[in-house]
């Protein structure tokens, strides 16, 4: 058992069972949040306790294996976990601060038609502490504080709900990193049971829902999960979430040439979202060779955005950050597996 997978309460109980005082747990938690790599580093613990803990628990660490830097300040990290699995995280600079996009699974089972992460399915879920390590290790590697986190890397957060919830509690903990829930966004392909539970348990965390089409048939063709969680069911759940939490829901819409980018598509999207407290994030598709799908031009993206705005739906066209460094979902890990990265990519 990895010590870092225990909740704080479980770890207090484990320490009590070892005959220790509860404040030891706080000391250890602080070390974890500072990125300690082993119990032996925790010099304010008695040596005997450090030895006991090392004998009883493993203490995994994720490591940054590769760093790619884009001219626009975006950095993409490939992390490796103790079992050798790899995931990616992306650091981005915005006017409001630095943001990190983290992965929640190794691979993904959702198999969206345009996405690189799902090309070969899910290998495993990431554990709460592994997601926390993405944050800790990428902050160290970036050399800058990170004050926003988006769960929009590889994986479907609500297909790994327990670990994602554990991660949100860890990163928010006031005795550790203390990241505000309002500075965190969780993105889902629309798994309704997850959205409902998340709304109850984390009403202050932002919700983003990947829509990509306003027509059920077109959406189901792009996103297999939409077959079970149809637009007819999903949209009212999102509207109810916005009402219940008092927070604006973000809808993500990847613009794909000839598939969902016409003025008529914009009109249909506006009528679908009418009356919902929401914001649409338009993402010109980051093309992935295997998918055969094309991106749209910037002018086409802006024409789509103008139509939506004119129909009363607030939206933005996402800046294309880090396109020169494979910053789209799942691309870096895939290249690494194919052995297609050269020496120059091996930063760090
Ligand atoms: N599984 C979650 C979160 C991970 S993907 C979800 O589906 O929301 C984060 C966002 O990137 C999603 O909106 C996803 O649909 C989008 N995305 C994936 N591949 C993309 C690509 N090649 N170009 C543009 N957006 C992409």
Give residue limits of the domains in the chain. Answer: 3-56, 63-345
Report whether residue 328 contacts ligand 1, using a CB cutoff of 6 Å. yes
* DSSP secondary structure, 26-81, as one string: HHHHHHHHTT--SGGG-TTS-HHHHHHHHHH-B----EEEEEEE-TTS-EEEEEE-
Q: For residue 346, is pLDDT > 50?
A: no
Give the model confidence (pLDDT) of 78-108 as tens digits: 999 999 999 999 999 988 899 999 999 999 9
**Which residue, among 274, 313, 319, 289, has the nearest Cα to 301 in the 3D structure?**
319
Report whether residue 296 contacts ligand 1, using a CB cutoff of 6 Å. no
Task: Return the percentage of the chain with pLDDT > 70, whole number.
Answer: 92
3 state DSSP class of 114: coil
3 state DSSP class of 121: coil
3 state DSSP class of 88: strand
Q: For residue 344, is pLDDT > 60?
A: no
Mean pLDDT computed over 308-314: 98
Least confidently predicted of 1-10, 39-48, 131-140: 1-10
Geometric angle at alpha carbon 29, from 89 and 202, rounded to 5°? 60
Q: Is-catalytic flag, 329? A: yes
3 state DSSP class of 334: helix
**Which residue, among 114, 135, 153, 72, has the nearest Cα to 333 in the 3D structure?**
153
- Rounded Cα distance, 202 and 72, in Å: 33
- Rounded Cα distance, 161 and 172, in Å: 16
Give the model confidence (pLDDT) of 29-79 as tens digits: 999 999 999 999 999 999 999 999 999 999 999 999 999 998 888 999 999
- Rounded Cα distance, 207 and 186, in Å: 5
- Ligand 1 centroid to Cα of residue 228, in Å, is 19
CATH architecture of 3-56: Orthogonal Bundle (1.10)
Q: Is-catalytic flag, 115? A: no
**pTM assigned to the model:** 0.93
- Output the pLDDT for position 1: 87
- Ligand 1 centroid to Cα of residue 88, in Å, is 14
Write the residue with the smallest CA distance to atom 19 of ligand 1: 115
- Output the pLDDT for position 117: 85
* DSSP secondary structure, 193-228, as one string: HHHHHHHHH-TTSEEEEE---SSHHHHHHH-GGGGT
222 confidence band (pLDDT: 50, 70, 90): very high
Superfamily of chain region 63-345 = Aldolase class I (3.20.20.70)
**Which residue, among 162, 168, 156, 263, has the nearest Cα to 210 in the 3D structure?**
156
Catalytic residue among 88, 134, 137, 252: 88
- Ligand 1 centroid to Cα of residue 158, in Å, is 14
- Rounded Cα distance, 2 and 219, in Å: 40
Q: For residue 276, is pLDDT > 50?
A: yes
- Output the pLDDT for position 191: 98
Write the residue with the smallest CA distance to atom 21 of ligand 1: 286
Mean pLDDT computed over 3-10: 93
- Rounded Cα distance, 7 and 125, in Å: 17
């Amino acid at each position: 058992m990895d010590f870092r997978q225990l909740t704080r309460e479980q770890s207090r109980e484990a320490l009590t069972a070892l005959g220790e005082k509860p404040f030891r747990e706080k000391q250890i938690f602080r070390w974890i949040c500072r990125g300690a790599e082993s119990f032996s580093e925790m010099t304010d613990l008695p040596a005997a306790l450090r030895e006991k803990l090392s004998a009883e628990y493993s203490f995994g660490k994720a490591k940054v294996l590769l760093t790619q830097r884009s001219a626009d300040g975006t950095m993409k990290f490939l992390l490796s976990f103790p079992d050798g699995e790899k995931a990616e995280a992306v650091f981005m600079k915005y006017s409001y601060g630095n943001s990190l996009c983290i992965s929640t699974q190794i691979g993904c089972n959702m198999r969206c038609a345009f996405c690189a992460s799902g090309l070969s399915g899910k290998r495993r879920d990431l554990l709460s502490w592994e997601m926390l390590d993405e944050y800790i290790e990428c902050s160290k590697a970036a050399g800058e504080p990170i004050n926003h986190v988006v769960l929009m890397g590889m994986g479907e957060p609500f297909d790994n709900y327990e670990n994602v919830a554990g991660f949100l509690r860890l990163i928010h903990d006031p005795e550790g990193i203390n990241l505000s829930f309002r500075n965190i966004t969780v993105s889902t392909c629309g798994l309704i049971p997850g959205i409902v539970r998340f709304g109850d348990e984390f009403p202050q965390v932002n919700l983003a829902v990947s829509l990509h089409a306003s027509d059920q048939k077109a959406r189901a063709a792009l996103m297999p999960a939409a077959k079970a969680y149809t637009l007819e069911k999903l949209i009212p759940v999102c509207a109810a979430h916005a009402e219940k939490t008092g927070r604006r829901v973000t809808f993500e819409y990847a613009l794909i040439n000839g598939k969902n980018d016409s003025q008529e598509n914009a009109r249909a999207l506006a009528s679908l979202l009418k009356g919902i407290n929401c914001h649409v994030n338009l993402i010109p598709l980051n093309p992935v060779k295997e998918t055969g799908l094309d991106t749209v031009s910037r002018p086409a993206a802006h024409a789509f955005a103008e139509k939506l705005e004119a129909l009363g739906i607030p939206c933005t066209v996402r800046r294309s950050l880090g396109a020169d460094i494979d910053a789209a979902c799942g691309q870096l890990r895939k290249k690494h597996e194919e052995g297609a990265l050269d020496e120059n990519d091996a930063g760090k």
